[in-house]
Amino acid sequence: MDDFRIEKDSLGTVEVPADKLWGAQTQRALQLFDIGNDAMPREMIEAYGVLKMACALANHGADRLSGEARDLIVGVCEEILSGHHADMFPLSVWISGSGTQFNMNVNEVIANRCSQIAGKPLGSKEPVHPNDHVNRSQSTNDNFPSAMYMAAALGVSRDLIPVARIFAESLATHATAWEGVVKIGRTHMQDATPLTLGQEFSGYAGLIEDNVVRLEAALQDVFKLPLGGTAVGTGINAYPGFDKDAIGHIADLTGLPFVPAANKFTVQGSHDALIQLSGSLKTLASSLYKIACDIRLLACGPRAGLGELVLPANEPGSSIMPGKVNPTQCEALSMVAIQVMANDYAITLGGSGGILEMNVYKPLMIHNIMQSIRTMAGAMLSFKSHLLDGLTANTDRIKELVGRSLMLVTALSPAIGYEKAAKIAMHAHGSGSTLKEAALELGYVTEVEFDDLVVPEKMVRPQA
């Protein structure tokens, strides 16, 4: 058996490995774009599997594709969606800015697999042709961005939002459990008035809940697909109504509310919906970064730091210091958050590259978007499972720090005024005495008055 077969495209013949389903254009791309090791996002394979199936169904419904071709294409797409042939999509992210080579990779794999099923030689383009049948009524210029939008929408709605909700629920569970744990608040990294540990964690839960709302709002524009615009948005070589038919099938197959974009020229010349979605991903990353850094700070110690939280001892923290426990989940989550913020910058720059009728930074944009979705979902699950689920409060340490705080003096301000209260705090700090001792020494309140006014538990909410 020969190691190679000859495949032909419009530029001539190419040797393709005999056991591969791809064709001449994919093989050319492998030779021309041997750049790095960043593979096209695997989510794009799924998106294209759905898209090509939907297009075949639509074209057949309009008498533009035979029943035999439809059944073969649909069958192969089902195989792809079941995880088969994943190794037949070898292209790098760093190809043409339109993604043409990847679209043709999909077209060639589907056509060759159809030939294989029909008992025809690979490369014969019978009974299904990669351009004439698999790519019918389409151009890379409308199907690649459609696949991008589909992959992003599927990733956010199916993977990221559900995980974010679980993450928020875990934070909210801690908020409820610790509602009665009064601790000292901190602003400017300095002691402030008290709040409860539960209130602090409710703030974290609220951050994530708000981000879910933002992501859901950003998805509304991502559901608007450019499919049907073909080369430049005019719909040349597609039949009237193809966009509604094909995207209707996509909506049915995915269970998501995809619709045709109202203006194909808008969504093919630029991809602002993805820039907006990336901005929402960046905002979530910013919130995760704060939460990870706050928990790391509150757990620092265990004896020479704040030590208010106790991290689960998942692993040895040091190769030299025995018994050390490090906030490794915080570090992983914060690194992912920084990467997502950096991804957003590249997506924004790429999104600005909508030159005339087409953006030419598509692979870059979808690579970064899917990496952001994938890594944040994974990092949140890891953080929840290996940190939040085992996180405990060091109530003795929290109580000790509350008792030593000078900012409890704030409760005296309404009774004796800001200036006298400040003198008490400064006297206590300078002399090393307690607030109560300083207040009594200065004679601004009686012991009974101090005990009645300075009650940390009363300072965590408005008082009548």
Q: Binding site: what residues are annotated?
A: 98-100, 129-132, 139-141, 187, 319, 324-326
List 10, 82, 174, 188, catalytic entry: 188
List 84, 318, 429, 431, catalytic entry: 318
195 and 185 in contact (C-beta within 8 Å)? yes
Map tokens 């697999």 to a residue. 113
57 and 249 in contact (C-beta within 8 Å)? yes
Is 431 a catalytic site residue?
Answer: no
68 and 24 in contact (C-beta within 8 Å)? no
Angle at 308 between CA 404 and CA 165, to 5 degrees: 135
Residues 6+ apart with CB under 8 A from 202: 171, 172, 175
Q: CA torsion sign, 195 to 200 to 201 to 205?
A: positive
Instruction: Note the Cα 345 to chain centre separation in Å.
Output: 14
**Encoding tokens for residue 335?**
């690194």
Angstrom distances, CA of residue 312 to CA of 327, 376, 385: 9, 21, 10
218 and 277 in contact (C-beta within 8 Å)? yes
Map tokens 């059944």 to a residue. 71
First to last CA, the chain: 90
Map tokens 């005296």 to a residue. 412
Phi and psi (nearest 5°) for 410? -55, -30
Whole-number Å distance between alpha carbons of 340 and 33: 26
Can you name the residues that pair with 310 across neighbouring β-strands?
A: 392
Is 427 a catalytic site residue?
Answer: no
Binding site for substrate: which residues? 98-100, 129-132, 139-141, 187, 319, 324-326
Is 298 exposed, middle or buried, given 0-12, 13-18 or 19+ CB atoms closer than 10 A?
buried
| Catalytic positions | 188, 318
